[in-house]
Amino acid sequence: MAKRNIFTLSVFTLILPLAIAGRAIVPLLQFQDKPSFLSPTFSRIFDTSMYGTLQLNNGLAQTPQMGWNSWNFFACDINETVIKETADALISTGLADLGYVYVNIDDCWCPTRNSEGQLVPDPKTFPSGIKALADYIHGKGLKLGIYSDAGVFTCQVRPGSLYHESDDAKLFASWDVDYLKYDNCYNLGIPPKDRYPPMREALNASGRTIFYSICEWGVDDPALWAGKVGNSWRTTDDINDSWASMTTIADLNDKWASYAGPGGWNDPDMLEVGNGGMSYQEYRAHFSIWALMKAPLLIGCDVRNMTAETYEILSNDEVIAVNQDSLGVQGRKVNVSGTDGVYQVWAGPLSGHRLAVALWNRGSKAKTITAKWEALGLQSSITVAVRDLWQHKEVAENAVSSFGALVDAHDCHLYIFTPQTESLRNVF
């Protein structure tokens, strides 16, 4: 096991990764003299003791990646016009200004290798080539992502990069690609721990800084090892555009909360917001929980043709700010109640001595859900101001001991709690 760098910090303070000999060092959320407003359980609830020393050496992913990916809506029906128009839409809608900067091509862009063994973009769908497309994307101030597979074929039976890592990484770099999603199909039964590091080494040696997104579906518990390999790692199987899929995946990803942090993030797959399979309330819950979990925010709908409701969700800058918070601690499920635990409280510490708190109703009827300070690791006497991030307003100035709200079925309220008492202010 790699040695971990442990720093003693005051509450809600996590020093940003330091560049030491080219390596990103992620300190832990630890407390020497715990202030009186914290309960003894705080550091256990928001444990980050599994942060490792990142070895990717690329300086990326200080916050979770944001952008767009072609797969959830377009699947194989992609071409360079769709990619360009998507980039244009990210700019014209203002989504790029909110942080959605990666424009990621998924599977099906490459049907074959040439006689020299190089990947060749489909001449029918990408006739201008990937380099020209990258130039167009970069001209918009955005970044281009590409897709390959840690197997002999991709999931759609296009050529994979297994045993071609060095050549393919150099090719991607020559095209000025900024991001690689690296899938897990047709892997010859070789363990992921053996297949994914070679591409890390190849990307590091390519001469270009490229975000490395590991997509091995959580098969070999990548949170346990992928922090030394990639900038993000899929913890689950593919999401689909349904309430059942989204909630199941959220629970699976929650298990690994203590392993994520600046430089490397748990990835419960891309956003389905706007694809039509869930209600407005369900999509709002999806976006809220993904933001709280510090998941990558990769839009999966057709941003050229968004509804007003879809845009409202994806453009909520206060929710995005929770996801992009510099503290980099993944929020997690802290309390459940009701039959089958359908009434849930999720929470996570933020910079500036704050907490993000979600009240999530996974039941079939409206219900008042209450977050008790005990579940949040706070002493019951602490006074808190509460801001609703969907209503964009303060809803309580001096909440004590607990805070509750009526939440519609399949909806989620997201708040920021800011402790207000004099005893708290005197600590800092």
Question: φ, ψ for residue 425 (rounded to 5)?
Answer: -60, -30
How far, in Å, CA of 253 to CA of 249, rounded? 6
14-34 burial, b at 16+ Cβ within 10 Å, e below that, comes to beebeeeeebbbbbbbeeeee
Q: Which residues contact 66 (CB under 8 A, 6 or more apart)?
A: 98, 99, 100, 101, 102, 296, 297, 298, 320, 323, 324
Q: How far apart are CA 328 and CA 322, in angstroms?
A: 9
Dist. CA 239–CA 71, nearest whole Å: 11
Annotated active-site residue in 135, 238, 251, 408: 238
Which of 107, 149, 178, 183 does the annotation list as catalytic? 183
User: Up-side HSE of residue 217: CA atoms within 13 Å toward CB?
Assistant: 12
Tell me how far apart the alpha carbons of residues 20 and 7 are, in angstroms, rounded to a whole number. 15
Is residue 183 part of the annotated active site? The answer reads yes
Closest CA to 234 of 248, 252, 216, 221: 216
Active site (annotated) includes residue 238:
yes
- So which residues are the catalytic ones? 183, 238
